[in-house]
Amino acid sequence: MQVLVNRLSGLPSESTEGVTVIKLPEPTLRLPREKPIPKAKPQTKWEAYAQLKGIQKKKKGRMLWDNESKQYKPRWGYGRKDETKSWLLEVPENADPNEDQFAKKIAEKKERVAKNELKRLRNIARVTKAKVPGVGLTPTDKPSKDHLGKTLAVTHKSTASLGKFMDTLPKEKLRLGKKRKFESNYTDDRERQKKILKGIADGTPVLDVNRAANIAKHREERERSMAKKSGDGEKKKAGAKGKKGGKKSFSGKPSGKPKKTFAGKTKKSFSGKKGGGGGGAKKGRK
């Protein structure tokens, strides 16, 4: 102990608030941790997409100006401007006058919360690679014909006996699932094996056109986002706003003249400023 004290008093010391403390050296012995090293939070689907597209997160201010009370109010939380709590709500021009606008607003909010929760769970499932059932058919205001058909097929099967005893409507086309097809057990499979062996012997790579196209598309997109980043401030702004235009040029034209599309995009950005703004709002909501 005397040795320890002697060594300690030889170490550099500091005095703070009239007390002299000795600075201990770095520990040489490594002790086990209590818990493993924390892992980085996995990306959500949106985050991954935003990164791919080079979409930056915009910080929203906490306080919003409320013109009625003439003061700043928080965007969310206690003391926010809650429309459902006000005594009056405007009925939109083409809305049903008997519709309860308050109930509608509350229902919409509930829907948004539920949707967000669903997305959260699906993100977790995606990361953990757990199998989850599909979203199914969500109710829409204006269902398309296809949507209706799907709903019908689903409801048809949604009985205890999986729709075995359901009567069909007179002109109803039943959507049946895909039937699995098996190779026959009785045919000579020499031909089949030959085909496989030939493919292996040739060494010709199998080209998945869809995949190749996707890879090419991705690369092009990344290049463009890199170019956007490296470009000067003005170009950058134009690029970010002309997001929609850029997207259009993608799906419409086959890849071949990327340089031209770039030039076109900057032009479009001036005309399509509004569209770009809309895109921004969309992003905020997600």
Tokens describing residue 236: 């950058």
Contact flag: residue 202 with other proteins (CB under 8 A): no
Stretch of residues binding other proteins (CB under 8 A), selected from 14-22, 184-192, 240-248, 278-286: 14-22
CB atoms inside a 10 Å sphere around CB 276: 19
Phi-psi map region of 236: left, alpha, beta (phi>0 left; psi -120 to 50 alpha): alpha
Letters for 110-129 (x = contact with other proteins by CB under 8 A, - = none) are -----------x--x--xx-
CB of 272 to other proteins, least distance (A): 20
> Does residue 77 touch other proteins according to CB under 8 A?
no
Return the range that interacts with other proteins (CB under 8 A); candidates 30-38, 149-157, 221-229, 275-283.
30-38
Question: Could you say which of 17, 18, 28, 37 contacts other proteins (CB under 8 A)?
Answer: 37
State in angstroms the smallest separation of the CB of 104 from other proteins: 27
Q: Which of 258, 257, 263 is nearest to 238 (CA)?
A: 263
Among 18, 36, 61, 136, binds other proteins (CB under 8 A): 36
Q: How far is CA 271 from CA 236, 241, 264, 266, in A?
A: 16, 10, 11, 9
Please identify, using beta-carbon distances, which residue of 128 and 140 lies nearer to other proteins.
128
Segment contacting other proteins (CB under 8 A): 1-9, 99-107, 146-154, 272-280? 1-9
Tokens representing residue 41 in the block: 């939070």
Spatial CB neighbours of 12, under 8 Å, sequence gap ≥ 6: 22, 23
Smallest gap, in angstroms, from Cβ of residue 44 to other proteins? Answer: 10
- The verdict on 4 binding other proteins (CB under 8 A) reads yes
The two three-digit tokens of residue 125, written as one number: 């499932």
> At its nearest, how many Å lie between other proteins and the CB of residue 230?
17
Q: How many CB atoms lie within 10 A of CB 153?
A: 18
Print the SS3 string covering 247-273. Answer: HHHHHHCCCCCHHHHHHHHHHHHHHCH
Question: At 160, is the secondary structure helix, strand, or coil?
Answer: coil
Q: Minimum Å distance from CB 49 to other proteins?
A: 19
| Nearest distance from C-beta of residue 8 to other proteins, angstroms | 6
Smallest CA-to-CA distance from 250 within 241, 240, 260 is with 260
Asked if 263 interacts with other proteins (CB under 8 A), we say no
Chain residues in the site for other proteins (CB under 8 A): 1-2, 4-6, 8-10, 14, 19-24, 29-38, 41-42, 121, 124, 127-128
